[in-house]
Structure 1
Amino acid sequence: MKLILTGVTGAAGIQIFRQAVLDAAITKITVLSRRALPSWMDIPENDKTDVIVLKDFLDYPSDLPARLAEHDACVWALGKSSVGLSDEEYTRITYDYTMHFVNSLQETRTKDKTGEPFRFVFVSGEGADPSGKSNLKFARIKGMTEKALFDLPQSSNITASVMRPAYFFPSKDHPSDRDNIRSSTAKAMDCFMTPIMKTILPSMYTPIEDLGLFAVEAAKGRWSDERLFPNSKMRELIKALRTLEIQQ
């Protein structure tokens, strides 16, 4: 299976990247990144990863859509906090980048309707509002992106699914993640919030290892009869999957 990843230098994306590298069913990984991957990234050595550096996620090289169409799936974890961004800036990063990828791919894949649908997994967030009524920038624009993905016509030959993780933080097993992804303030907040979320509000917490595993399994086509995965559903399915693995 050939997989496309974005956002791999973020807390969610880097864990998804690790999981994909370790998964024997994934034979090729293509990372779309705005810059070369930094040396601090703690990723298992592998010979199946290619990195394509894109200076502008709204302006692809002419040959890129055809290259992307050779893949089977994508996990789109590219994103940024809405804090401090204008509506226009957050829309460009969250909606425009995502839909430019999907539309570019759609134009290529509709020419070949004989293959299996391309699986597109969008990492959204708990609280996203596809109705567009929310006053929260994050909820409204993430929701707008979800709706656009779910409205893709069958002729696109693309099947979109949406993950809505809740609060998560970089893996404690990889200190370089926390040191390079989180600010000092965010790291302090992680230390404060994690025990609270785990014990008092577990429904609003997503273990990063579960997030990575879920994203890769969804990209591989597991749970293909469902398209929207709130945090509670994600955790339920991962628990069942881990139980099944133990039994086997």
Structure 2
Amino acid sequence: MKVLIFGASGMVGLGVLRECLVAADVTQVTTVGRSAADTSLFRRDREDAGFNRAVAGKLRQLAHADMFDYAAIESQLAGYDACFFCLGVSSLGMPEAEYARITYDLTLAAARTLRRLNPTMAFVYVSGAGTDSSEQGRSMWARVKGRTENALLAMGFAGAFMFRPGAMIAMHGARSKTLAYRLLYPLLGPLLPLLRAIWPDRILSTEIIGLAMLEAARRGAAKGVLESPDIRRLALRGA
């Protein structure tokens, strides 16, 4: 299986990147973004010679400045079986038009190109718990995410899966690029494993999310929109 990852430098993106690199059935991983993902963050694997060989053999990082236009690199985006779209920004302090441009317009620009180039591709989009499928709610970010999900589901991919994780535990060196989250995680970190033991379906790890994405790409899922309990069940199905 050959996979594309958008947003591989973020917390969820790094999580799925790591799982793709260690998966035996993934033969090529290409990241697409303005900057490369820092694979040295996979601290548990840095001294593992086998893992380092897998990275060298599988990973290709494609730098691309204009994430709204892929004409210049179309030839490098064809021939893939799955796309894991983990690119996103926090809506804090952001006007709706600007947030929609980054969340909806940018995502759809990539998805339309990939759908045309890879008609049998599975497309997995990372949304978030609380996303509003009706597009009518009071929460701006939830409406925009809902509109994005709906457009992707209607696009005609061989498989389209909207992941809505909530609270997450970062594993294997993955970390958020959002400053507020980076400040909160050290404070909440000691509590999260305990809370996860109490509510395993509600608090997921980046590893579980990555495993579930791979399973969706391999064998699909029972529905197009997956909340945290669905994501965990999907990961366990592929374990």
TM-score (norm 1): 0.81
Q: CA, structure 1 residues 93+193, in 2 after alignment: closer, same or farther (shift >3 Å)?
A: farther
1:68 is aligned to 77
Residues 106, 147 of structure 1: alpha-carbon distance in 2 compared, 3 angstrom cutoff: same
- 1:123 corresponds in structure 2 to 126
Summarize the Cα distance change of 1:123–1:38 in structure 2 as closer, same or farther, 3 Å threshold. Answer: same
Can you give the 5+ residue segments of structure 1 that lack an aligned partner in the other structure? 111-116, 243-248
Q: Greater CA deviation, 233-242 or 93-102?
A: 233-242
Give the AA of the match of 2:70: Y
1:50 maps to which residue?
60
Which residue is 1:113 aligned to?
Answer: none
1:135 maps to what in 2? Answer: 138
The residue type paired with residue 96 of structure 1 is D
Q: How far apart are residue 124 of structure 1 and its match?
A: 1.1
Identity %: 29
Code of the residue aligned with 2:66 in structure 1: it is: D
More displaced 10-residue stretch of structure 1: 158-167 or 140-149: 158-167
How large is the Cα RMSD of the aligned pairs?
A: 2.5
- Structure 1 SS opposite 2:169: coil
Cα distance in 2 for partners of 1:180, 1:108 equals 30
Flag the 1:39–1:86 CA change in 2: closer, same or farther, 3 A.
same
1:105 and 2:114 equivalent? yes
1:126 positional shift:
1.3
Partner of 1:212: 210
Give a deviation string over 1:118-155, Cα, whole Å, max 9, x none: 110111111111211221122111111110011114xx
8 Å CA contact retained: 1:11, 1:181: no
Distance 1:81 1:204 in 2: 21
CA distance in 2, matches of 1:16, 1:52: 17
Asked if the contact 2:167–2:203 (Cα under 8 Å) also holds between the matched residues in 1, the reply is: yes
Distance 2:136 2:201 in 1: 24
Relative to the length of structure 2, the TM-score reads: 0.84
> Gapped runs of 5+ residues in structure 2?
46-50
Alpha-carbon distance in structure 2 between the residues aligned to 1:19 and 1:85: 32
